[in-house]
Amino acid sequence: MNTNVAPNAVAAVSEARQWDRLMELATLGAITGADGAPGVNRQALTALDRQARRLLIGWGAAAGLKASVDVLGNLFLRHEGTEAGLAPVVSGSHMDSQPAGGRFDGIWGVVAALEAVQALREAGVATRRPIEIVAWTNEEGSRFAPGCMGSMAYAGYRPPETWDDVADAEGIRFGDALREHLAEETDIPHRGLGVVEGPRPHAYVEAHIEQGPILEAEGIDIGIVTGIQGSRWFLVELTGASAHAGTAPVSTRRDAVQDMVRAINALNALMADPTDVLRFTVASIEVKPNSSNSVAETVKFTIDFRHPDAAVLRERGDAIEATIKGAVKTCEVKLTERFNADPVTFAPQVTEAVARAAAAQGLSAKRIPSGAFHDAQFMVPLCPSGMIFVPSRDGISHNPAEYSSPEQLARGARVLAQVLAELANS
């Protein structure tokens, strides 16, 4: 590999261009959070999502990159390599956001990949392998649960029709939203679905904001991500009976809210962890009929459970159903597992490339695990995979107050450019 390659490309990364693109994308779904923080609500497979994708495709086309889209709506921009037939290096993240999300989660990884590849091209750097920039469909899982649908389908982890019947809050089916979405993008060339219909990538690298407090607290520029903890998502449905709040004796009720409280208390005991490593979250609750003077007939609530140790994830996750059934008094219980992502360890081919690039650029770096899940989790079985983190102010994410500075993001893109140059020439 030509040792001049990376420095040229690194120098061509534009802090201003990357920031301006992020700010333009942040206008699509702009919301205002507490204290006026400028956030984003851009849900997967919506018109806003499509507008954001069109912006990206336009920037890519101007840089000479060809767009294509697969059956799950995963969007790719391709930089050609010099040697025909070699597997691509893939880099990107997601463009959808949380409902009260920030301007950087996911979208920065896509914009950073474009910035890095554009810098390589502007520096006149050719790579042996192609590089594909990817925007995965529905990573967040907030409109349609679970997250990471695009990467799971690409990896062959689940068939693409798996989630067709998943409905959003308006009752729109994922399969219908996807069909409508693809119909709006018929001018973009279609491609086969990931490793189900094509070759394994040579490597996968995802740049992302840390979403936690470590890098900022320690004054570190770059996180060399060592792996991702495992996650399991469940939907709990409790069914009782509605009754008049003024006339029905409490002893006769089948009150779904009261059983939900019992269930959550029991789950808190199951998930208790003195080491504070385990993550257990109930954050979405739907009550029907949702009227203050009618006893609740049904409750649906979500469970997000995470741990770095696969055994803990398996044992406590598998105990959830019995714990809920043992805790409720009167309701019927239905438990559905909606997401199951094993803990993963990233490959030294990528972690060491990130470490080398950060060192070569005089940046401080630290090895840290990811508490958030990412599409990278599903690339691990396919090819050497890894991630690059940059600091998040106050460790805040999934919140409009999420912030990383133009300079911090530019450092991340420069490291990514060097890593992509190295991997695409290996």
Binding site for Mn ion (CB under 5 A): 105-106
Least CB distance to ligand GLV at residue 209 (A): 11
Q: Of 198, 209, 7, nearest to 108 (Cα)?
A: 209
Q: Is the dihedral of CA 107, 112, 118, 122 positive or negative?
A: positive
Give CA torsion, residues 278, 283, 288, 294, to 10 deg: 90
Least CB distance to ligand GLV at residue 140 (A): 5
Both tokens assigned to 254: 């089948």
Both tokens assigned to 58: 């336009």
If the CB atoms of residues 140 and 210 are measured against ligand GLV, the closer one turns out to be: 140
If the CB atoms of residues 106 and 317 are measured against Mn ion, the closer one turns out to be: 106
* Site pattern 161..200 for ligand GLV (x: CB under 6 A): ----------------------------------------
Q: 247: helix, coil or strand?
A: coil
If the CB atoms of residues 147 and 343 are measured against ligand GLV, the closer one turns out to be: 147
Identify what 373 binds: ligand GLV, Mn ion, none; CB under 5 to 8 Å per kind: ligand GLV
Least CB distance to ligand GLV at residue 81 (A): 31
If the CB atoms of residues 105 and 168 are measured against Mn ion, the closer one turns out to be: 105
If the CB atoms of residues 75 and 372 are measured against ligand GLV, the closer one turns out to be: 372
If the CB atoms of residues 1 and 285 are measured against ligand GLV, the closer one turns out to be: 285
Length in residues, the chain: 426
DSSP state of 162: T
Least CB distance to Mn ion at residue 376 (A): 10
Residue pair 68/191 in contact by the 8 Å Cβ criterion: yes
Q: Report the C-alpha gap between 211 and 194 in whole angstroms.
A: 28
If the CB atoms of residues 44 and 89 are measured against ligand GLV, the closer one turns out to be: 44
For residue 273, give every residue at least 6 positions away whose Cβ sits within 8 Å of its Cβ, in sequence order, or none. Answer: none
Q: Report the C-alpha gap between 268 and 108 in whole angstroms.
A: 35
Identify what 422 binds: Mn ion, ligand GLV, none; CB under 5 to 8 Å per kind: none
Tell which positions 127-156 bind ligand GLV, by CB under 6 A: 140, 147
Gyration radius of the chain over CA positions = 23
Cis omega (within 30 of 0) on the bond before 369? no
Among the listed residues 372, 383, 387, 410, the single contact to ligand GLV using CB under 6 A? 372
Instruction: Name the closest residue to Mn ion (Cβ).
Output: 106
For residue 297, give every residue at least 6 positions away whose Cβ sits within 8 Å of its Cβ, in sequence order, or none. Answer: 239, 240, 241, 242, 256, 288, 289
Least CB distance to ligand GLV at residue 158 (A): 17
Size of the site for ligand GLV (CB under 6 A): 4
Least CB distance to Mn ion at residue 103 (A): 12
Least CB distance to ligand GLV at residue 306 (A): 8
Which residues in this chain contact ligand GLV in the complex, by CB under 6 A? 140, 147, 372-373
